[in-house]
Amino acid sequence: MQMLSLDLGERSYPIFFGAELLKDKSILAPYLGNEGVLIVTNETVAPLYLQDVRDLLDGHQVDELILPDGERYKTLDTLNLIFNTLLEKGRTRGCMLIALGGGVIGDMTGFAAACYQRGVDFIQIPTTLLAQVDSSVGGKTAVNHRLGKNMIGAFHQPKAVIIDVDTLKTLPDREFRSGLAEVIKYGLIVDKNFFSWLEENIDALLARQNDSLLYAIECSCRLKAQIVSVDEKEGGVRAILNFGHTFGHAIETHQKYGEWLHGEAIAVGMLMAAKMSAKMNWLPAEDVERISRLLKIVGLPVDPPPDLSPQQFLNHMVVDKKARLGIIRLVLLKAIGQAVISADYEPDLLRAIVTPG
């Protein structure tokens, strides 16, 4: 087992990663009080890993809540099911929530933990690649609103993140490839050597070899932890973690969080942001080609859905949380491994990027 630390003063926490961690009782034990544990998971993950987590909690009062599976259930209504369970069981402020699942479960459980009795502890046990390299780390929690993704939420850091790479063995291929989009993101925004490593090792990653996966997870979590530790609440640099997301969220909102997976939308968004960076004479055209090539090898889409008009695209982008007074702030690339946040671009340039052809 390996460990990284996300340093945030009294809110610091460890990120454990390795194989067979769901068989190791010693990891979870130090975080459990005696006021009860609620495991929140979903109907897909429960048959795979709920028993393993139950076994780690021998001797504790354990409740479990199995939610329906899917982004469309990432709502205030579903969140209320978590509160109902906690209240019906009479859980007090010293209880612990455990999020067992992908980013949807992690974001909702974290938000429930942020709100319940004004804040209780929670632990992330992410089981998708996307959740292991991104959503479980950094304390962003949220649910969606009809008018925008992740619009209702809070910053609430977990007490620990436990990443068992073995859980990726059961992850459907499309979900796995979608998670790789976020891994590629880290190389693009802050670490050109990691991007080159990904280009060289993409076959091993696609074959889900544990050593390559663990290296990619370690790099991703380390890079994210470094950024979050200097800007927990996204006052500045943390916004670069949203590279590709302003475009990607527009695609997801347009589709009402249905057809495309998050990483697929982000893949298209990253390439659009790279093309915009090239149009601003920052990123060389050959680097745009490198990015496009890697995304295609992974099997991710590189073009937006054809039914999303340029005006709809821009309308959805204005709802982005980085927008200020109607001005869309974009994360762009000065180079591979060097992201910047900018609103200093010609509006016509952005319109050209969201216009097909």
Instruction: Round to whole Å and give the CA distance between 82 and 120.
Output: 13
Which residue carries 């063995």 as its tokens?
Answer: 169
Q: Does residue number 140 form part of the binding site for ligand GLY (CB under 6 A)? A: yes
Binding mask 271-300 for ligand NAD (x = CB under 6 A): ------------------------------
Q: Which does residue 238 bind out of ligand NAD, ligand GLY, none, counting CB within 5 to 8 angstroms by kind? A: ligand GLY
Crossing angle of helices 285-298 and 262-279, in 10° steps, is 170
Q: Does residue number 184 form part of the binding site for ligand NAD (CB under 6 A)? A: no
Residue 22 beta carbon to ligand NAD: minimum distance, rounded to whole angstroms: 11
3-class secondary structure, 40 = strand
Verify whether residue 234 is a known catalytic residue. Answer: yes
| The token pair that represents 153 in the structure block | 């939420």
Q: Does residue number 279 form part of the binding site for ligand GLY (CB under 6 A)? A: no
Residue 71 beta carbon to ligand GLY: minimum distance, rounded to whole angstroms: 15
Which residue carries 């050593």 as its tokens?
Answer: 211
> Contact with ligand NAD (CB under 6 A): which of 39, 131, 160, 219?
131
Longest alpha-carbon distance in the chain: 62
Give CA separation, 325 vs 152, 233, 287, 329, 343, in Å. 19, 20, 32, 10, 11
CA terminus-to-terminus distance, the chain: 48
Which of 222, 238, 322, 329 is flagged as catalytic?
A: 238
Binding mask 212-241 for ligand GLY (x = CB under 6 A): --------------------------x--x
Which of 42, 144, 150, 242 is flagged as catalytic?
A: 242
The burial class, CB within 10 Å (0-12 / 13-18 / 19+), for 243 is buried
Q: Does residue number 170 form part of the binding site for ligand NAD (CB under 6 A)? A: yes
Residue nearest to ligand GLY (CB): 241
The region, left, alpha or beta by phi > 0 then psi within -120 to 50, assigned to residue 27 is alpha
Q: Does residue number 321 form part of the binding site for ligand NAD (CB under 6 A)? A: no
Residue 58 beta carbon to ligand GLY: minimum distance, rounded to whole angstroms: 33
Give me the helices (H) in the chain, please.
Answer: 25-28, 51-56, 76-88, 103-115, 129-130, 173-190, 192-206, 210-230, 245-254, 262-279, 285-298, 310-318, 347-353
Residue nearest to ligand NAD (CB): 103
> Contact with ligand GLY (CB under 6 A): which of 136, 242, 246, 253?
242
| Residue 168 vs 241, nearer CB to ligand GLY | 241
Instruction: Round to whole Å and give the CA distance between 143 and 321.
Output: 14
Which of 262, 279, 316, 329 is flagged as catalytic?
A: 262
Binding mask 92-121 for ligand NAD (x = CB under 6 A): ---------xxxxx-x--------------
Which of 156, 224, 254, 322 is flagged as catalytic?
A: 224
Residue 347 beta carbon to ligand GLY: minimum distance, rounded to whole angstroms: 25
Verify whether residue 145 is a known catalytic residue. Answer: no
| Residue 127 vs 150, nearer CB to ligand GLY | 150
Give the residue from 15, 2, 9 showing the smallest Cα distance to 229: 9
The CA-based angle 134-24-38, given to 5 degrees, is 65
Residues classed as catalytic: 118, 140, 182, 224, 234, 238, 242, 245, 249, 262
